[in-house]
A and B are shown apart, each in its own frame.
Chain A
Amino acid sequence: MEIAVDTLKWILACTTSDVPENGGACVKHGDEQIAVFNFTRRNEWYATQNLCPHKQQMALSRGMIGSTGEECEPKVACPFHKKTFSLLSGECLSGEEYEIKTYPVRVIGDKVYIGIKEMA
Chain B
Amino acid sequence: MNEKQTIVVIGNGMVGYKFCEKLIAKTNAYQVVVFGEEPRPAYDRVHLSEYFNGKTAEDLSMSPAGWYEQNGIKLHLNDPVQEINRANKTIHSLKGSVQKYDYLVLATGSSAFVPDIPGIEKEGVFVYRTIEDLELISGYASNARNGAVMGGGLLGLEAAKALIDLGIKETHVIEFAPRLMPRQIDQPGSSMLQMKLKELGLHIHLNKSTLNIGGDGKIEALEFADETSLAVDMLVISAGIKPRDELAKLCGLETGTRGGIVVNDYMQTNDESIFAIGECALHSGMIYGLVAPGYEMADVVVAQLSEADKSFTGFDMSTKLKLIGIDVASFGDPFINDPDCKTILFEDTNKGVYKRINISNDGKALLGGILIGDADDYNILLQNVKNKIALPENPEDLILGARGGASSEGSGVMSLPDDAMICSCESVSKGAICDAVKLDNITTLDGIKKCTKAGTCCGGCVPLVKDLINGTMKESGLYVKNVLCEHFDYSRQELMDLIRINNVRSYDEALDHYGKGDGCETCKPAVASILSGLWNDLIVKQAPIQDSNDRYLANIQKGGTYSVVPRIPGGEITPDKLIVIGQVAKKYNLYTKITGGQRIDLFGAHVNDLPNIWEELIEAGFESGHAYGKSLRTVKSCVGSTWCRFGLHDSVSFAIEIEERYKGIRSPHKLKGGVSGCIRECAEAQAKDFGIIATDKGWNLYVCGNGGSKPQHALLLASDIDKETLVKYLDRFLMFYIKTADPLARTATWLNKMEGGLSYLKNVIINDSLGINSQLEEEMQGLVDSFHCEWKEVVQNEELRKRFVHFVNAPEEKDPSVNFDPMREQVKAKEW
Residues from chain B with Cβ under 8 Å of A104 in the complex:
none
B817 within 8 Å of A by Cβ?
Answer: yes
A56–B832 CB distance below 8 A: yes
A25–B808 CB distance below 8 A: yes
Known: A21-B544, A58-B817, A62-B556. A26 touches B808 (CB 8 A): yes
Among B305-344, those with CB < 8 Å from A are none
A23–B544 CB distance below 8 A: yes
A67 within 8 Å of B by Cβ?
Answer: yes
B517–A84 CB distance below 8 A: no
Query: Of A18, A67, A75, which one neighbours B808 at CB under 8 angstroms?
Result: A18
> How many A residues face the partner with a CB closer than 8 A?
40
B449 within 8 Å of A by Cβ?
Answer: no
A66–B544 CB distance below 8 A: no
B560–A14 CB distance below 8 A: no
CA distance A84 to B174 in the complex (A): 64
- With both chains docked as a complex, state the minimum distance between the C-beta of A65 and any C-beta of chain B, in angstroms: 8
B815 within 8 Å of A by Cβ?
Answer: yes
B486–A68 CB distance below 8 A: yes
Known: A72-B518, A77-B520. A59 touches B556 (CB 8 A): yes
Residues from chain B with Cβ under 8 Å of A24 in the complex:
544
- With both chains docked as a complex, state the minimum distance between the C-beta of A110 and any C-beta of chain B, in angstroms: 13
Residues from chain A with Cβ under 8 Å of B520 in the complex:
64, 66-68, 75, 77, 84
Known: A13-B809, A14-B809, A26-B807. A64 touches B517 (CB 8 A): no
A19–B808 CB distance below 8 A: yes
B86 within 8 Å of A by Cβ?
Answer: no
B806–A59 CB distance below 8 A: no
| Least CB separation from A56: chain B residue | B832
CA distance A58 to B807 in the complex (A): 11
A66–B556 CB distance below 8 A: no
| Least CB separation from A13: chain B residue | B809
Among the listed stretches B46-54, B178-186, B546-554, B723-731, which one makes contact with chain A, having 4 or more residues with CB under 8 Å of it? B546-554
| A interface secondary structure, majority | strand
Residues from chain B with Cβ under 8 Å of A42 in the complex:
518
B544–A20 CB distance below 8 A: yes
Known: A66-B524, A84-B521. A57 touches B544 (CB 8 A): no
Query: Of A20, A59, A82, which one neighbours B560 at CB under 8 angstroms?
Result: A59
CA distance A66 to B803 in the complex (A): 20
B810 within 8 Å of A by Cβ?
Answer: yes
B518–A77 CB distance below 8 A: no
B560–A57 CB distance below 8 A: yes
- B 513-549 to A, binary, CB cutoff 8 A, 1 in contact else 0: 0000111110111000000000000000001110111
Instruction: Count A-B pairs with CB separation below 8 Å.
Output: 101
| B interface secondary structure, majority | loop
Residues from chain A with Cβ under 8 Å of B815 in the complex:
33, 58
B517–A67 CB distance below 8 A: yes
B363 within 8 Å of A by Cβ?
Answer: no
| Least CB separation from B799: chain A residue | A17
- With both chains docked as a complex, state the minimum distance between the C-beta of B100 and any C-beta of chain A, in angstroms: 63
CA distance A94 to B556 in the complex (A): 21
- With both chains docked as a complex, state the minimum distance between the C-beta of A14 and any C-beta of chain B, in angstroms: 5
- B 805-825 to A, binary, CB cutoff 8 A, 1 in contact else 0: 111111001010110000000
Residues from chain B with Cβ under 8 Å of A115 in the complex:
none
A28–B813 CB distance below 8 A: yes
A79–B545 CB distance below 8 A: no
A82–B518 CB distance below 8 A: no
| Least CB separation from B806: chain A residue | A26
B809–A58 CB distance below 8 A: no
- With both chains docked as a complex, state the minimum distance between the C-beta of B531 and any C-beta of chain A, in angstroms: 15
| Least CB separation from B548: chain A residue | A79
Residues in A lying within 8 Å of B, measured CB to CB: 13-14, 18-28, 33, 36, 39, 41-42, 51, 55-59, 62-69, 72, 74-75, 77, 79-80, 82, 84
Other 14 A-B pairs with CB < 8 A, given A25-B805, A62-B551, A66-B524: A13-B809, A20-B543, A23-B544, A27-B807, A28-B813, A62-B552, A64-B547, A66-B520, A66-B523, A67-B487, A67-B520, A72-B517, A77-B521, A80-B556
A-B interface, 10 closest residue pairs, ranked by CB to CB distance from nearest: A23-B544, A79-B548, A66-B520, A67-B518, A77-B521, A28-B807, A25-B808, A64-B521, A18-B808, A55-B832
A-B contact pairs, 23 of them (CB 8 A): A18-B808, A21-B544, A25-B805, A26-B807, A28-B809, A28-B810, A33-B817, A42-B518, A51-B817, A57-B560, A58-B560, A58-B818, A59-B560, A63-B521, A64-B544, A65-B518, A66-B519, A66-B523, A67-B487, A67-B519, A68-B517, A68-B520, A79-B549
Residues in B lying within 8 Å of A, measured CB to CB: 486-487, 508, 511, 517-521, 523-525, 543-545, 547-549, 551-552, 556, 559-560, 803, 805-810, 813, 815, 817-818, 832
